[in-house]
Structure 1
Amino acid sequence: MNESRVHLNSDEALHQAASPADGLGDLRADESGVFWLAADPVSGARRLWHWCDGRAKALTPSEMDVASHVNGYGGGAHTRLGDTVIFVAGDHQMLYRQKLTGGDVQPWWSQPETRYGGLLADPLRQRVLAVEEKGNSRDASQCLVALNDDGRCVLAEGADFYDAPTLTADGMRLAWVEWNLPHMPWQRSRLCIADLGSDGRIVQQHTWDGGSAVTQPRFAADSSLIVISDHRGWWQPYRLTGDTAQAIGDIPTDHVPTPWQLGECHHLWPKEGGLLMRFQEGAATLWQVDEQGHAHRRLLPEASRIIGLAMHEQWLYAITQGQSHAARLVRVNLGDERQETLFALPTPDDPPLPTLISTPASETERVTAFVYFPDVAGDTLPPLIMRIHGGPTAASYPVFDPLARWWTLQGYAVADLNPRGSGNWGRAFRERLAGQWGRLDVDDAVALADELVARRLVDPERLFLRGQSAGGFTVLNTLASTQRFRAGASLYGVTDAVRLASQTHRFESGYLDWLLGDETAKHDASPVNRLDTFVAPVIFFQGGRDAVVLPDQTLFMAAALRGQGVKAEVVLFPEEGHGIRHPANRRRLIARELAFFAAHGGDVP
């Protein structure tokens, strides 16, 4: 499928905006072809695709969602084993298998109340390695297992969490990442390396602990082990020899995003060097480097976000987004630099390009935003929608976003803020929210609004906020702290930190202590306990099956605001979880949000 550029009218732009901007992911490649997930434009289900012999085809039915729910965020939901693919069904987490040649999917493995993710094929032993999570979300336990037609073998247990199993080419060495509560994987984790016997069981194991966090271990072509660690303040690659870690390169920048999902890949090490991502001013760049990490050429220069990498023989495969293109799967021949687009989401012929805006956050710190501007006549200043990403350690990227384009077609400017706490800017920046969430991020939102107003880029009387998950917490706390904004939209946002800490799933069960502090601090920072300072109206969007931010928290917050005389609307999607995925539901969300902002001062002539 070649990349396509199309001219869209407003209705068509709305339909495109209802599709996830990063609708491709979970990339794998080997001698049988390339495998990835793509969101179905009709059902919203993530389908498994296969590219081979010059053509792409969907392997899984349109109604079947392929997704892991381990840790609530999943990742690594498929792998190839022989002439079949093994994948996780999103609704009940059963493992299925399907022939590459097609046919019906067949059940392969399941256990009650069990989820799987981070799948990795072990072709030597005809089995699949996986992170197994058993039990309900609050009291679950994890282990690293091997599964085959004959049964299940536990390889590692005892830690609270596991991620990133990886094997040497000969299948005789295994590495993975593990960590314990109350930490998140980017706060404190360790690397485990093991020798495997002929039966596939661990015969010898040791641990490398750099004193900080590790992620994405990879065995190079020469079987040396390379891992990303941030013990020196940045996510940087290190080559391990025993307990000695040698830095590869010396550029002080993050080389991977914050590890929220299993099975991610942002660096590869074929013969004579590697393929390494680096962040520059919040944008991802991809480089071919030598064994010491010195760059000798940049690859895919049009990309500003790298969603995933894979490689087979001389071909590098990448899922990327760029400032002027939607998500696409490309491949590059590292020998002659030929480049091909294998699969792409449609890109309009007039994508709005982001402008980098930087503003002081303190005497020594700056925060940045990527701003998309509409076409306006004369000296007219557009209204602003400021978007706050989730996490709060996620990040906004300077990429084509169909939703941002749709907003600009309606006459709005759109600003994607990276407040303190965001990923991709180093450990110190990511950890600035320790005990300060709901304060520093609010300051940053106000500072950006002031900067855009001072530059006469937006209308100071028509400023709006929008945030999802952790970003919703920032939106609500900002509205409770200032009357600078006319209205806000909270998409499955945190409202009550005390209740969230006691009810949310196990993966994040200790995170709020780090972000906010003790129970008193959580209480004081919760928007639900700041009702008397709200003035601006709020619209809430909530999934009925959300296991991260429970629906009753959103319903209670909205009712409490109405009790204070503040206008508060709730749009509930009963079948959705933590995120609104179905295209029809997303279209409904976007239309209701626009109508809400327009009704509260954002109407554009």
Structure 2
Amino acid sequence: MVEIKPFGAWPSPITAESLSSGSPAYDTCVDNDAIYWCSTVATEQGRGQIYKQTISDSSTPPQALLPEGYDCLTRVHEYGRGSFKVSNGLVVFSNNKDCRIYTIINDEIKPLTPADTLYRYADFAIDAENRFLVCVREEHFVNEEPKDVVNVLVSVDLKSGKETVIAQGKDFYSSPRISPANNALTYVCWSHPNMPWDFTELYLAKIEFENRQLILSDLVCVAGDKIDESISQPNFGIDGTLYFASDRSLFWNLYSFDGKTVNLLLEEPVEQDFVGPAWRFNDSDYTPLKSDASKLIVINKNSLAILDTKTKTMTNINCEYDHFAYIRAFLDKEGNEYVIADMSSPTEPSQICSYDIKNQTIVHIHRKSMATRLEPDFLSVGKEVIFPTTNGKSAYCYYYAPKNPHFKGNGLPPLRVLSHGGPTAATDNSYSRAIQYWTTRGFAVADVNYGGSTGYGREYRNRLHLSWGIVDVDDCCNAAIYLADQGLVDPNKVAIEGGSAGGFTTLASLAFRKVFKAGCCRYGISDITLLAKETHKFESRYPDRLIGEYPKDKAVYEERSPLFKADKIECPVIFFQGSDDKVVPPSQAEVMVNALKEKNVPVAYVLYQGEAHGFKRAENIKRTMELEQWFYGQIFGFPVEGVEGVEIYNFP
């Protein structure tokens, strides 16, 4: 029997504890008949663990390679990834405990690089003979400014650990890849004020390894030097062909380089992005096949597809999943080829699967979802909504209706609007246990891809140029207004939540608009002048394109900063912050909390010791979700049982 209970207070099968049990896998790597991946272990203070499993025998449980004391994580660019690589049984990884490179051979862990340096390493490529590796090295200094940090590309002798700088002079490097077919090395680089989705360059060189040292020759700029384009995810085919993604057509399409010219892989550019923004290292949204030099596996919207470079055609293949990440190819001893990837769908949580290309079927699940699967009667599937926004334009969001077969509420449900981080990033409707946490409790959710989000081409992405704090705010507000006008949600119980850059959009929406009745800010930016002055090198010039040049445009920064308009915020806000956050320091939250206290606005503040940018510890993930729900219960007037609250200043 269905019980009537206030929206937001429905008992749910999803516990807050379970939200930390399904940490996503990343940096998936295939080596011989083994698959490796990394995942953070929330119950071990969020350390990174490397797992290994035999591909042909998925019945054997994955093997964890790192004992306590090791943390496979890199903080190059602060966002990291590309934290390990495997070649012919040799594992190379970055240890976050001391930032050194370590190797694992026959289960023996040894340091490769010296101790007591201020270097960080990421994005490894290893030659076929395991003689050397190439990676990004980031040098830090005591009491440094962002401009002091030095990024270069280095080779490291895998026998002695000796490092040699092989590319320098640009502000940033990424994606070193080695081709054993023709002894070639490729990499991407860019300089301030560009971000990797603005304008980058792609280089290609011949390589030789003499006297234990890597030597580059015939260096050529393949793309990015003559036209403005963002180049991403270079990769070599089995015959040495260089593939890469470029948005020279205003969408990230796929191209090849034949040694003389750049060639589009399809007959004509298509209006879709085949890759995403390069926030982190080692993304792989497509891969060349190992059995056929003329074919690649790509993501064609919500389907895997085979792209034939000879016929310049793309053919979808049947797969029960429709969201894919870290795509790799594997060829077994019988010549059968498989796609190995992190796969999910709106109803299926993320799993690492082997897909048989010939028979078009999933043959192995190597890493099952760590969280308990939700019964279909509880599942709310995100539906893409195109809604009208400012200046006669349209924007996008995924709308999730509240769903729980045991309960219904009176009237209309509260709405929780999500503002994703980045801001140059995107959301999709792949299964999110965190979203289902809210919908099963009686909340509606709108996950917004505001102007500036990726996946819709460069023009949509560029809507944020000099307009951050305007376009994103308008779109989040207009999403809530549209859903309320459609009679789907209660306009008097609308909250907005966001982390990092999404936290800025959250605070700006509360300060400059009167749409939302509550807000939740996780490690968000309140004073963008501090962002321009305090943040790390990777993003230190990011605001140039989003806001303007600082300090020349200081007035614009202050005009857009929620801190300077704290007196305009009238609704309650809760803040969550990590004490060790270098991307958005705690001062960003604390100046805002103090300002709201002084203005008599209801505000709560939760500081987690030892957490950095994004919460990794199980107890903090649990606490954040429970407290956010409890906070809304206090504000919107529904009961939330079993949660120890915190002080809400200026709230009776």
TM-aligned CA deviation for residue 82 of structure 1: 3.8
- Other structure's SS at 2:28 match: strand
Decide whether the 8 Å contact of 2:31 with 2:89 is kept in 1: no
- Structure 2 counterpart of 1:204, from 209, 212, 218: 218
- Which protein is bigger by CA-based radius of gyration? 2
Residue of structure 1 in register with 2:165 after alignment: 154
SS at match of 1:67: coil
C-alpha contact 1:497 1:526 (8 A) present in aligned 2: yes
1:287-318 Cα offsets, whole Å, 9 max, x none, are: 112115422233534223x2211112112100
Asked if 2 retains the 8 angstrom alpha-carbon contact of 1:329 and 1:343, the reply is yes
Structure 1 residues 240-389: aligned runs within 5 Å: 240-249=257-266, 250-270=269-289, 271=292, 272-279=294-301, 284-291=302-309, 292-304=311-323, 306-313=324-331, 314-339=337-362, 340-345=364-369, 346=371, 347-350=373-376, 351-362=379-390, 365-375=393-403, 377=408, 380-389=411-420
CA-CA distance at 1:12 after TM superposition: 5.2
Structure 1 residue identity aligned to 2:149: A
1:555 and 2:555 are equivalent in the alignment: no
Greater mean alpha carbon deviation, residues 38-47 or residues 184-193: 38-47
Query: By how many angstroms is 1:63 displaced?
Result: 5.9
Matching of residues 129-144 of structure 1 within 5 Å: 129-136=134-141, 138=146, 139-144=148-153
Q: Assess, with a 3 A threshold, how the Cα gap between structure 1 residues 253 and 247 changes in structure 2: closer, same or farther.
A: same
Matching residue's letter, 2:353: V
Show CA shifts across 1:370-396 (max 9, x none): 122223637631111111110001111
Matches of 1:494 and 1:41, distance apart in 2? 25
2:437 match: 406
DSSP-derived class of the 2:129 partner? coil
Q: Is this contact kept in 2: 1:285–1:301, CA < 8 A?
A: no
1:185 is aligned, of 162, 184, 196, to 196
Distance in 2 (alpha carbons) for counterparts of 1:439 and 1:14? 34
Tell me, in whole angstroms, the C-alpha distance in 2 between the residues paired with 1:372 and 1:63. Answer: 41
**Post-superposition offset of 1:10:** 3.9
1:530-577 per-position Cα deviation (integer Å, ceiling 9, x unaligned): 112110111111111111111112111100111111112110011011
Please list the CA deviations of residues 82-139 of structure 1 after superposition, one character each: whole Å capped at 9, or x if unmatched.
Answer: 433111112332212223x535x33222451111100111133522211000014722
Q: Any conservation in 2 of the 1:411–1:604 contact (CA below 8 Å)?
A: no
- Report if aligned partners of 1:45, 1:62 keep a CA contact under 8 Å in 2: no
Structural mapping, 1:35-114, within 5 Å: 35-43=36-44, 44-52=46-54, 53-54=56-57, 55=60, 56-61=62-67, 64-99=70-105, 101-102=106-107, 105-110=109-114, 112-114=117-119
Map Cα deviations across residues 41-81 of structure 1 (whole Å, 9 max, x no partner): 52232211111151322112366331111001112110114
1:31 paired residue number: 32
Paired letter, 1:247: L
Equivalent in 474, 485, 488 of residue 454 of structure 1: 485
C-alpha RMSD of the superposition: 2.0
> Aligned partners of 1:547 and 1:171: how far apart in 2?
41
Give matches, 1:498-577, under 5 Å. Answer: 498-517=529-548, 518-577=553-612
Give how far 1:162 is off.
0.4
Q: What SS does the aligned partner of 1:466 have?
A: strand
In structure 2, what is the equivalent of residue 235 of structure 1? Answer: 252
Partner secondary structure for residue 456 of structure 2: coil
For residues 232 and 334 of structure 1, the distance between their equivalents in structure 2, rounded to whole angstroms, comes to 30
Aligned residue pairs, count: 590
Distance 2:452 2:260 in 1: 31
Identity %: 27
Q: 2:124, 2:135 within 8 Å by CA — same for their partners in 1?
A: yes
Q: SS of the counterpart of 2:262?
A: strand
Query: In structure 2, what residue type is equivalent to 1:182?
Result: P
Q: Does the residue aligned with 1:555 lie in a helix, a strand or coil? A: helix
Mapped partners of 1:63, 1:372: distance in 2: 41
Cα contact 1:37–1:47 (8 A) shared by 2: yes
Partner SS state of residue 27, structure 2: strand
Alignment of 1:427-438 (within 5 A): 427-438=458-469
Q: Say whether 1:221 aligns with 2:274.
A: no
User: Is the 8 Å Cα contact of residues 540 and 570 (structure 1) preserved in structure 2?
Assistant: yes
Per the alignment, residue 6 of structure 1 pairs with: none
Confirm or deny that 1:14 pairs with 2:31.
no
Structure 1 position 171, deviation (Å): 6.1
Q: Which residue of 2 aligns with 1:588?
A: 623
2:649 is aligned to: none
Deviation at 1:167, TM superposition (A): 1.3
CA separation in 1, counterparts of 2:114 and 2:304? 39
Distance 1:125 1:410, change over 3 A: closer
Residues 321 and 432 (structure 1), Cα distance of their counterparts in 2 relative to 1, 3 Å cut: same
Q: Per-residue CA shift, 1:126-166, capped at 9, x if unaligned?
A: 22211000014722101111112221122211111100011
User: CA contact under 8 A between 1:531 and 1:561: conserved in structure 2?
Assistant: yes
Contact 1:18–1:403 (Cα < 8 Å) also in 2: no
Which of 512, 515, 519 lines up with 1:484 in the alignment? Answer: 515
Aligned to 2:647: none
Structure 1 CA distance, aligned partners of 2:318 and 2:42? 30
Task: Using structure 1 for the length normalisation, give the TM-score.
Answer: 0.94
Is residue 31–residue 88 contact of structure 2 (8 Å, CA) maintained in 1? no
* 8 Å contact kept, 1:93–1:110: no
| Residue 506 of structure 1: how far off its partner (Å) | 0.5
The alpha-carbon deviation at position 363 of structure 1 amounts to: 5.2
Q: Distance in 2 between matches of 1:575 and 1:11?
A: 30
How far 1:30 moved relative to its partner? 2.1
Q: Is the 8 A contact 2:524 2:588 kept in 1?
A: no
Q: How far 1:32 moved relative to its partner?
A: 4.1
Distance 1:215 1:167 in 2: 15
Uncovered stretches (5+) of structure 1, i.e. residues with no partner: 1-8
Structure 1 residues 464 and 18: CA distance shift in structure 2, 3 A: farther
Q: CA deviation at 1:423?
A: 1.0
Partner of residue 145 from structure 1, selected from 147, 150, 154: 154
Scaled by the length of structure 2, what TM-score is found?
0.87
Could you tell me how far apart the structure 2 residues matched to 1:563 and 1:549 are? 23
Tell me if the contact between 1:30 and 1:311 (Cα under 8 Å) persists in the aligned partners: no
Whole-Å Cα distance in 2 between the matches of residues 303 and 90 of structure 1?
Answer: 33
Deviation of 1:198 (Å): 4.1
User: 1:64 corresponds to which letter in structure 2?
Assistant: Y
Instruction: Please give the alpha-carbon distance, in whole angstroms, between the structure 2 residues aligned to 1:11 and 1:18.
Output: 15
Give the direction of change, closer, same or farther, for the CA distance of 1:424–1:331 in structure 2 (3 Å limit): same
* Separation in 2, partners of 1:508, 1:174: 27
